[in-house]
């Protein structure tokens, strides 16, 4: 297939593009910074400037040439402290960006067959130890409301004849980014520990499986709607930190008190101090087999 990807220079996107090309697909990367995209993605990827909100735009024509779209674009949740302006950037980068992609699809005579749109397990809001699958209701905090609005914009492509898959991504693990990038140096310096009580659930997923799930969704027409991109074995935050300590041969003994985390990152701390026990029911029912379903094995593969 010919696949258009937004967010292709990010932590997930760059590996997805490599996997798409390895599987024989051609890739159009829509990027705001073509020089950076060229440096990260290298040769063999068609680059198109993506500037949402300005028309006419060359990227809209590329939408009509694509068989599929994978939309991974979005402002990082923890790159800056949340204030009114930053929350607006987080919201608009996902909700408004997705709206404009779907509107561009609607203006094409020839349309993609598939839209795989990123979402987040924050859709479910804070929960205790209740297992949550794709039929569980949404929460009501900022991240949950954003995810609901984000998915609603993507779902409008269904009325245009496009199969829509909403990939609710969990806490993604790999060495050079995601949750592990700031945690591993602390553990190596014997300063690692859990957050708050440590009893909040931590629905993790190896980056290889996020990419695998997206590829599987692209290739299986029966998959549509919401899918949880998380490991089938969620753990508590304390269990996760203990396992990371084992993998690094370091103790996990220096927990971060809730009040300290609130001082450090403000309102965003609630995302870290609460959690969800998310189960990937839809994708496993569809036949996907996880590469890394057990936490100890997943961490060992990362830190070896």
Q: In the chain, what are the domain boundaries?
A: 2-171+204-230+281-291
Please state, in angstroms and rounded to a whole number, the distance separating the CA atoms of residues 209 and 157. 25
pLDDT of residue 52: 66
Q: What 8-state DSSP symbol labels residue 287?
A: T
SS (H, E, C) 240-295: HHHHHHHHHCCCCCCCECHHHHHHHHHHHHHHHHCECEECCHHHHHCCCCCCCCCH
pLDDT of residue 291: 97
Compute φ and ψ for 6, nearest 5 degrees.
-105, 155
Q: What is the CATH number of domain 2-171+204-230+281-291?
A: 3.40.50.720
The rounded average pLDDT for each run of 10 residues, N- to C-terminus, in the chain (304 residues) is 95 96 95 92 91 72 93 89 93 94 94 97 94 97 96 98 98 90 89 93 97 98 98 97 95 87 83 93 98 97 92
Q: Two tokens at 301?
A: 């593969």
Of 259, 120, 219, the C-alpha closest to 178 is 120
DSSP bridge partners of 73: none
pLDDT of residue 178: 86
pTM given for the model: 0.94
Q: Compute CA 204 distance to the chain's CA centroid, rounded to the nearest angstrom.
A: 11
pLDDT of residue 9: 93
Strands 46-49 vs 26-31: parallel, antiparallel or unpaired: parallel
pLDDT of residue 56: 58
Please state, in angstroms and rounded to a whole number, the distance separating the CA atoms of residues 295 and 204. 8
């Amino acid at each position: 297939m010919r696949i258009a990807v937004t967010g292709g220079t990010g932590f997930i996107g760059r590996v997805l593009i490599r996997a798409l090309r390895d599987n024989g697909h051609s890739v159009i990367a829509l990027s705001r910074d073509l020089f950076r995209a060229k440096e990260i993605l290298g040769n063999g990827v068609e680059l198109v400037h993506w500037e949402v909100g300005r028309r006419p735009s060359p990227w809209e024509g590329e939408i009509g040439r694509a068989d599929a779209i994978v939309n991974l674009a979005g402002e990082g949740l923890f790159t800056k402290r949340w204030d009114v302006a930053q929350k607006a950037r987080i919201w608009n980068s996902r909700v408004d960006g997705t709206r404009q992609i779907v509107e561009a699809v609607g203006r094409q005579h020839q349309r993609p067959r598939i839209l795989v749109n990123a979402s987040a397990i924050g859709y479910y809001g804070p929960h205790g130890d209740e297992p949550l699958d794709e039929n569980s209701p949404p929460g009501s905090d900022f991240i949950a409301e954003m995810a609901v609005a984000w998915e609603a914009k993507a779902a409008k492509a269904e009325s245009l004849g496009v199969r829509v898959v909403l990939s609710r991504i969990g806490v993604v693990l790999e060495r050079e980014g995601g949750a592990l990038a700031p945690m591993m140096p602390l553990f190596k310096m014997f300063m690692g520990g859990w957050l708050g009580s440590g009893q909040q659930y931590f629905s993790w997923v190896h980056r290889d499986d996020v990419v695998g799930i997206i590829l599987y969704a692209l290739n299986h027409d029966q998959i549509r709607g919401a899918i949880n991109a998380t490991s089938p074995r969620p753990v508590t935050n304390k269990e996760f930190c203990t396992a990371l300590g084992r993998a690094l041969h370091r103790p996990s003994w220096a927990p971060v008190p809730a009040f300290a985390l609130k001082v450090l990152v403000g309102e965003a701390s609630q995302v870290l101090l609460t959690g969800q026990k998310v189960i990937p029911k839809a994708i496993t029912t569809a036949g996907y087999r996880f590469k890394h379903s057990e936490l100890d094995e997943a961490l060992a593969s990362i830190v070896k």
